[in-house]
Amino acid sequence: MTELSVHEVRAAQLRIQPHVHRTPVITCRHLDRLTGRQLFFKAENLQKTGSFKARGACNAVFAIKERRPDVPGIVTHSSGNHGQATAYAAALAGLPCTVVVPRDTAAVKVDAIRAYGAHVLLCEPTVDARREVCAAVAARTGFTVAESSDSWDTMAGQGTIALELLEQVPDLDAVLVAVSGGGMAAGIAAVISELRPECKVFAVEPQGKELGASLRAGRALWPPLPGGRLLDTLADGCRLPGCSRLAFPLLCRLVGPRVITIADRQIAAATRAFWQHTKLLIEPSAGMAVAAALSDQLPPQLRRVAVILCGGNVDLDCLGWLAAADGQPADRPDTRLVNDCQTAGLSEHGDQ
């Protein structure tokens, strides 16, 4: 595969359908009133393993096994969510799995990777360390690397989000997608561009990622962080600088200048507001996309906007950042708003 189209995404959907949830779309009248738009939240926080990554990992692992029935195992590197998803997919495929994670990864994510049966290797919190340790494992064991975003199979799996979303809300004006390696944004944009080209896909990045300037220029301009460090951001699922080699040209062509940059203060405030008004748990990377919807960076003519809630894997022992949103103590929930929040199809997804 040298490109990504709806054909490959539909094939991925058939491959992974028995193993992932068709996630619901959530609405909230309070947030609609606050923004003056109709917001549709695609709840990938309710996906298997707690994030959208299950889609791409399942497609990648199953495709690897189809092409190499004798593959001895799977290895990957991750900030947490892709690691959980790959461990889950490898277990379904009956393959041993090793996941390399930075040593400062949230404990809840590391514990979940182990719970799915994978072996965890901790490394220094740098891009280079992740890749080097992963490559060393592959060389020593013969395991195949399942990339988190730099893979056509992974991106095709992530694109299945858009297939479902357009069936659930067919007349969207825009979709907001958080970006780390860019696989989810590229997969969604590939589907949207073919099936609803009038809908605009916006990439949402944490402050310091510097992807926007690169997409506007059509070439990689993001500066390498000293020592290959990962980004320092509350959106712990979006710590990779820049984006992947395969995703970048797709994002240049299909997203271009439509990039929204969000600061940690906005992430914390939006995550807290979403928890309070929808009673659903999302992680800060998903809160970053919510923050984009609540910001003034969207053109006013875009009225029906989807927000991809990329995950819900939160370390509940480390919530000081949430209480400190906007530098203020957390407010007590306003119970009058509970009935303002509506859900669609929550019974579809079953148990995680």
pLDDT (0 to 100) of residue 347: 33
Note down pLDDT in tens along the chain; length 352 residues: 557 999 999 999 999 999 999 999 999 999 999 999 999 999 999 999 999 999 999 999 999 999 999 999 999 998 889 999 999 999 999 999 999 999 988 888 899 999 999 999 999 988 889 999 999 999 999 999 999 888 999 999 999 999 999 999 999 999 999 999 999 999 999 999 999 999 999 999 999 888 988 998 888 888 776 666 777 888 887 877 788 999 999 999 999 999 999 999 999 999 999 999 999 999 999 999 999 999 999 999 999 999 999 999 887 777 766 655 555 433 333 322 333 334 443 333 333 3
Query: How many whole angstroms separate alpha carbon 248 and alpha carbon 346?
Result: 34
Q: What class is the 53-145 domain?
A: alpha beta
Phi/psi of residue 343, nearest 5 degrees: -125, 155
Question: For residue 66, what are its two tokens?
Answer: 């189809």
* 209 part of the active site: no
Q: Which helix (H) or strand (E) holds 206?
A: strand 200-206
Quick one: CA dihedral 276, 282, 286, 288, positive or negative?
A: positive
Question: For residue 232, what are its two tokens?
Answer: 């320092």
299 exposed, middle or buried (CB, 10 Å; 0-12, 13-18, 19+)? exposed
Domains 6-51+152-348 and 53-145 share a fold: yes
Degrees, nearest 5: CA angle 223-259-159: 105
**Domain extents for the chain?**
6-51+152-348, 53-145
Count of CB atoms situated within 10 Å of the CB of 221: 14
pLDDT (0 to 100) of residue 339: 34
Single out the catalytic residue among 42, 48, 51, 53.
Answer: 53
* 200 part of the active site: no
Query: Hey, which residues does 41 pair with through a beta bridge?
Result: 26, 307
pLDDT (0 to 100) of residue 88: 98
Distance from the first to the final alpha carbon of the chain? 32
Q: What class is the 6-51+152-348 domain?
A: alpha beta
Phi-psi category of residue 177: left, alpha or beta, with phi > 0 → left and psi -120 to 50 → alpha: beta
pLDDT (0 to 100) of residue 240: 78
| Helix 6-16 with 53-67: angle, nearest 10 deg | 90
Count of CB atoms situated within 10 Å of the CB of 84: 31
Single out the catalytic residue among 51, 79, 180, 193.
Answer: 79
pLDDT (0 to 100) of residue 104: 86
pTM for the model stands at 0.89
pLDDT (0 to 100) of residue 337: 31
pLDDT (0 to 100) of residue 326: 52
Query: How many whole angstroms separate alpha carbon 279 and alpha carbon 300?
Result: 28
